[in-house]
Structure 1
C-alpha cells in the first residue's frame, strides 16, 4: 500500500492540488479562463456557489454522461472530481485580487505552466481519466470521433455555455486554449526523461 501511495496515489493527489492552484491563478488574473473554467465560473455565478464547487457539481453531471458512453470511472476519476475544485477555492482564499496588468499576465502564464506540471504528475498514474476527459474518450470509442475532434466539440460547448452564464472570456482564454496542450506535452516529456534517468527504466515500461 505504501509503495502504491508513493508511486501513484501521492503524485495523483499532488497533481490535482497543483491544478487547483493553476485555476486560482487564472481566476485572479482576470484575463480569461480556460474553456471548462469559463463554464465552472459561469455556473457558479448562476447557482451562487464558488467556482470550485461548481467544478464538483459539473464533474458529477459529466459522470452521468459516462453511463450511455459505457465508461467506467477509476479512483483517479473520483479524486479528480473531489480535489481540484476545493483546492482552487482554497487557493482563491489565499491569493488576493490584483490590479497590476503585468502581474496578472504572470499569474495567467504561471497558471498554464502549473496545469502542465499537474498533468505530468497525475496522468502517468493511470488510475482513471478525469470526468471531462472520459467524455472525450467515450465519444471516440462509441462514435469513432478522433480525440482531437471530440475534445474540440466538448470544450467549445463548455466555453459557449459558460460565456452565456457569465464566465470570464478574454485574451487569456485564447492563450490558455492554445498553450495548455503543448505545455502538458512538454511537462510530460520532461517528467519521462527524469524518471528514466533516475530509474534507468524506459518510460514505456513504467
Structure 2
C-alpha cells in the first residue's frame, strides 16, 4: 500500500478516504487505517461475516506496516518509476488480498465487506470490489483526500486482479465424508 502512496500518481480509493480523514481528524495515516477498519467491521454484522486471526492481523499489520514503509520508502522523482511503483503496488495488493482471503483465516475488514456483499448479492468479486472502491473514492474526495489518475487505475484494476488471483490462492476445505448410517461402524 505504501508503495502506491509514494508513487504520487494517486492514492488507492480507501487511502483517499484515509487521507481525507487524516486531514480532518489530525491522526496519523496508520491510525486512520486502523480506525476505519474497525468501523467497517460493523458492516459485517448484517452480512454475517466471521472474524478470524487474519482479520485482526490485517488491521494491525497493515496499519503499522504502512507507517513504517512510508517512513523509509523514497518518493520517486520521474514518471516511469512512479508508474512502476503504482502498477507493482496494485498488482501486489490484488495478489496479497487473494492470498489472505484465500487462506480462510479471516478477511481484513474491507475485504470481508467485499466477500460478504459478493455472497449476499451473488455478484462477482470484481463487480462488488469495483463498486466499493468507487463509493469510497467519492466519499474520500468529498473529505479532501488526494486523488489522481492512479486512483482511477486502482479502482478499476483491483477487483479484476483480486478475482484473477483468488482461485489459485484459495485453500480448499477438506471434504467431509457423509454418514451413511447412524450405526455405521466406520463413523
- Which residue, out of 148, 152, 157, partners 1:174? 152
CA contact (8 A) 2:17 2:137 kept: yes
Q: Could you state the TM-score of these two structures normalised by the residue count of structure 2?
A: 0.78
- The aligned counterpart of 2:116 is 138
Instruction: Give a deviation string over 1:12-64, Cα, whole Å, max 9, x none.
Output: xxxxxxxxxxx111111111122112111211221122222211110001112
Match of 1:80 in 2: 58
Structure 2 counterpart of 1:154 = 132
> Which moved further from structure 2: 97-106 or 176-185?
176-185
Count of residues paired in the alignment: 173
Q: Are the structure 2 counterparts of residues 169 and 154 from structure 1 closer, same or farther at C-alpha, using a change threshold of 3 Å?
A: same
**Long gaps (5+) in structure 1:** 1-22, 193-202
Q: 2:151 matched to 1:163?
A: no
Looking at structure 2, the residues matched to 37 and 160 of structure 1 have their Cα atoms a distance apart, in angstroms, of: 12
Runs of 4+ in 1 over 3 A off after TM superposition: 136-142, 147-153, 181-192, 203-206
Distance 1:182 1:114 in 2: 13
Q: Are residues 1:50 and 2:50 paired?
A: no
Higher helix share: 1
Q: How big is the alpha-carbon RMSD for the aligned residues of Structure 1 and Structure 2?
A: 2.6
Task: Identify the residue that residue 19 of structure 1 maps to in structure 2.
Answer: none
Partner of 2:179: none
Deviates more, 1:120-129 or 1:104-113: 120-129
Please say which structure displays the higher CA radius of gyration: 2
Are 1:136 and 1:147, in contact at CA under 8 Å, matched by a contact in 2? no
1:96 aligns with 2:74: yes
Q: Which moved more, 1:181-190 or 1:91-100?
A: 181-190
Query: Is the contact made by 2:98 and 2:162 (CA closer than 8 Å) also made in structure 1?
Result: yes
108-117 or 175-184, larger mean C-alpha shift:
175-184
TM-score (norm 1): 0.71
Q: Any conservation in 2 of the 1:39–1:161 contact (CA below 8 Å)?
A: yes
Measured in 1, the distance between the counterparts of 2:143 and 2:30 equals 16
